[in-house]
Structure 1
Amino acid sequence: MQQQHRFRIPMPTTTQQREYFLDSIRAYLMLLGVPFHVSLIYSSQSWAVNSADPSQWLTLFNEFIHAFRMQVFFVISGYFSYMLYLRYEPARWLKVRLERVGIPMLAAVPLFTLPQFFLLKHYTSAVGDWNSFDFYQKFNTLAWNLISHLWFLLVLVILTTLGMLVFRWLRDRPASQRDYRQVGWGTLLGAFLAYGLVWCLLRRLIFIFQPTWLMDGLFSIGVMQTTLFLPFFMLGALAWKHPPLKALFVRFNPAMHLGAAVTFALYVANQRYSSGEGWLYELDALIVLMMGVFMTNVVFAFGHRLLNAHSPRITYLVNASLFIYLVHHPLTLLYGIFITPHIANNTLGFFVGLALIFALAFLLYEIHLRIPLLRFLFSGRSAKK
């Protein structure tokens, strides 16, 4: 999310060419959070704020973004994380990565998600009857509301900590390039399917014997979400170590494009016809895992062909993307609460919301760059060079 590979530490390894297309993809995936949440207002999904009549095309648009965005993001995150692991001493790597991820997450709680909680509590029914909650219910409700928008940062903190062990094992393994030349999409899809079946079995056992765990915000994000996205993080690290694997990602494959279309159709069908008491979440996990593999090829192939060039605009978006992501959520809620009811046309409301929220978010980004404390909290840089 930050421009992590800007560090320059002398290493005895050969410097690889800058991966401009990965910078671009990472920035755009982060910025897709804005149309995702604005379209959520106008979709048939139940959210804190919804329009009076849902829009079918915005529902489909929202589901498409949600079906693949974070899987591809974690592949890129794993790729750059392992690259930096090889560039730093392990303890130094852990410190830098946790600072770059953890400090913005912690800063966002009092500055963004805590005010957002009071906004939801007083102007929507999303929080519920707060006064009737017992201590644990209040704690769990606060946990959900304070970290739900920051969930991917918490997952990154956990994956980074696990990386101290996993990356050491990966680094010390011989790089068997010949073996990875034999790895194809069928092998990867089979591995992800097998992992998904194990994950689904684990979730179903928890659902049978300890269902309250799944309603706990910290457990749901810290354990279930982390383990769901772990293979994508590791796939990115493997792609850095084994160039034949990365080459597989960036080659156009019509079968993978077709697979992405079919999997998305299954994703939509599962959202429409499954129920929470049935196999909705297990099927969702399997589809998300498969969709992530398919869309890694689709996004990387198009990105490598169209976006693999240096651009000051992309550099700016890379640096701005995390702040934009963090600030856009409360702005979207404010828009949904106070402006959405006054715009009758859903499509018009969506585009007005996009324009207004992006404009305010980038304005706040420019303001924060000029305040040293805020610049440090959200970019890890104490002074502008």
Structure 2
Amino acid sequence: MTKKPQQREHYLDSVRAWLMLLGVPFHLSLIYSTQGWSVNSPHPSAWLTLLNDFIHAFRMQVFFVISGYFSYMLYLRYAPKHWIKVRLERVGIPMLAAVPLLTLPQLFILKEWTSRLDGWAALTPYAKYNMVSWDLISHLWFLLVLCILTTLGLIAFRLLRDARRAKTDYSDLSWGKLSLAILAYSLLWGAFRRTIFLLQPQWLMDGLFSNMVMQSLYFLPFFILGAMAWKYPAIKALFVRPDYRVFAGAALAFAAYVANQTWSSGEGWLYELDAVISMQMGLWMVNVTFSAGHRFLNSHSPRITYLVNASLFIYLVHHPLTLLYGIFVTPHITSNTLGFFVGLLLVFGVAFLLYELHLRIPLLRFLFSGKPQKTRAAAAPVKQH
């Protein structure tokens, strides 16, 4: 029996691309925020700090919902062994290629032109290894987490696939029930983190443990929720249908997020409260972004297709470009607002030029996409998700 192919959901492609591209204003605003980064303006900007907090509070939660959605769709299309091979190639090859091509040069940039590695000679061997691991992973952390969640998906997706639909179709699911489920998970995550903080606090400072364990556990429910939205149309319909009570909840959650960042401390409950608040905001922003995307972006556009194809590459290269901008240009622009917008123009401009350049070099196209490169004669249109 041949199933009718599902119409391509342009709005999800678009939302995913815009979430990736938001990495540029996120890191540029980080320069001008009150958050300590490798490069900071001497006089932080209140509105850019607020912008940075807003982007950080929801962006990756929504991204992992979309990743889970498309990952499960492809899982149903391929045999499990072929699926895991294809998915890890698409995610792992760009991640591994970006280490020598991007984050390793970035490490030398930090060493030569910032105070990031000051006191290197006095560090213990482990401290040196840990600092290097943080900086080599850097902004590639989400690819590392996606590799881990994809691997876990071999088990989770099989269970989801084999679950009897007759048992429930989630038509009675509401935002209240979903919010309570995410709240319960965030409290468990916070309890797990607090236990580690009390018993083995040094683990939380370890780059590999923090990214591979804590981040993966944090984003796991969003990844699974995305897969469930593919299997159960009622969940997807809930996401796409605008609910202004949820919109209001997202606004209140953001206010709580800013308050926590302003008045809490790392020795207190800052990170546990952050998890509770940002998981709720991330969940509610799924409704905001999905419904807005479905309303305004659900159509084919060559421009959007270009951004979808370029978004991963732009995200990968923007981080070292932003650091270079912060080191060499930021000190010469006295206005934080002007510096931010000039930075957007320069970083996006150079990133898109590099994207066009890499398209003309087959090896780079392969390394930054994880896809085998076909000759024009052999290439055929393929749906990308």
For residue 57 of structure 1, the aligned residue among 16, 24, 47 is 47
* Alpha-carbon separation, structure 2, partners of 1:176 and 1:18: 27
Q: CA deviation at 1:128?
A: 3.1
Structure-to-structure mapping, 1:326-365, within 5 angstroms: 326-365=316-355
The answer to whether structure 1 residue 196 and structure 2 residue 152 are counterparts is no
Counterpart-to-counterpart distance in 1, 2:279 and 2:4: 33
CA distance in 2, matches of 1:384, 1:50: 46
Distance 1:73 1:127 in 2: 32
The amino acid that maps onto 1:382 is Q
**Alpha-carbon separation, structure 1, partners of 2:275 and 2:227:** 22
Correspondent of 1:37 among 27, 31, 34: 27
CA contact (8 A) 2:169 2:234 kept: no
How big is each residue's C-alpha offset from its partner over 1:42-95, in whole Å with a ceiling of 9 and x where there is no partner?
A: 111110000110010111011101110000000000000000000000000000
Give the equivalent residue in structure 2 for 1:78.
68
Distance 1:16 1:227 in 2: 31
CA contact (8 A) 1:177 1:242 kept: no
Contact 2:148/2:212 (8 A) holds in 1: yes
Alignment match, 1:28: 18
> Does structure 2 retain, via aligned residues, the 8 Å contact 1:328–1:361?
yes
Decide which moves more: 76-85 or 15-24: 15-24
Among 290, 295, 303, the alignment partner of 1:305 is: 295
Partner amino acid, structure 1, of 2:85: K
Q: Distance in 1 between matches of 2:172 and 2:166?
A: 11
Superposition misfits of 4+ residues, deviation over 3 angstroms: 11-14, 176-179
1:149-179 Cα shifts (integer Å, max 9, x gaps): 1000000000000001110111011124854
Name the aligned partner's letter for residue 284 of structure 1. Answer: D
RMSD, aligned α-carbons: 1.1
In the other structure, the counterpart of 1:148 is: 138
- For 1:29 and 1:112, locate their aligned partners in 2 and report how far apart those are by CA, in whole Å: 21
Bigger shift: 373-382 or 213-222?
A: 373-382
How far is the alpha carbon of 1:126 from its aligned partner?
1.7
Q: List gaps (5 residues or longer) in structure 1.
A: 1-10
More displaced stretch, 123-132 vs 43-52: 123-132
Distance 1:43 1:74 in 2: 26
> Residue type of the partner of 1:256?
V
Q: How does 1:269-280 map to 2 (within 5 A)?
A: 269-280=259-270
1:132 equivalent in alignment to 2:132: no
Taking a change above 3 Å as real, the CA distance of residues 227 and 384 of structure 1, as seen in their structure-2 partners, is farther
1:382 aligns with 2:373: yes
Q: Structure 1 residues 174, 297: CA separation in 2 closer, same or farther (over 3 Å shift)?
A: same
Give the one of 226, 241, 246 matched to 1:256: 246
Structure 1 residue 12 displacement after superposition: 4.1
Is the partner of 2:170 in helix, strand or coil?
helix
Q: Is the 8 A contact 1:177 1:244 kept in 2?
A: no
Q: Once the 2 structures are TM-superposed, how far is the Cα of residue 374 of structure 1 from its aligned partner? A: 0.4
What residue identity is the alignment partner of 1:359? G
Separation (CA, whole Å) in 2 of partners of 1:12 and 1:213: 51
| 1:271 maps to amino acid | Q
Residue pair 2:31, 2:37 contacting (<8 A) in 1 also: yes
What's the offset of the Cα at 1:336? 0.2
1:311-326 correspondence runs (5 A): 311-326=301-316
Distance 1:129 1:137 in 2: 11
Which of 283, 286, 295 aligns to 1:293? It is 283
Residues 64 and 137 of structure 1, relative CA distance in 2, 3 Å threshold: same
Are the equivalent residues in 1 in contact too, given 2:10–2:297 (CA < 8 A)?
Answer: yes
Checking the alignment, whether the CA contact within 8 Å between 2:70 and 2:227 is kept in structure 1 is: yes
CA distance in 2 between partners of 1:372 and 1:236 (Å): 33
SS at match of 2:139: coil
Secondary structure, aligned partner of 2:298: coil
Q: CA deviation at 1:384?
A: 6.4
Change (3 A) 1:303 1:265: same
Aligned pair in 2 of structure 1 residues 264, 177: CA closer, same or farther (>3 Å)? farther
CA distance in 1, matches of 2:167, 2:360: 47
Q: 1:3 maps to what in 2?
A: none
Q: Which moved more, 1:26-35 or 1:11-20?
A: 11-20
Distance in 1 of aligned mates of 2:6 and 2:122: 58
Determine helix, strand or coil for the equivalent of 1:222. helix
Q: Give me the whole-angstrom Cα distance separating, in 1, the residues matched to 2:169 and 2:84.
A: 30
Q: Please list the CA deviations of residues 271-318 of structure 1 after superposition, one character each: whole Å capped at 9, or x if unmatched.
A: 000000000000000111100111000110100000000111111111
Match of 1:168 in 2: 158
Q: How many residues align?
A: 375
C-alpha distance in structure 2 between counterparts of 1:246 and 1:218, whole Å:
34
Answer with 12-21 or 184-193: which moved more. 12-21
Q: How far, CA to CA, are the matches of 2:169 and 2:233 in structure 1?
A: 12
8 Å CA contact 1:263, 1:290 repeated in 2: yes
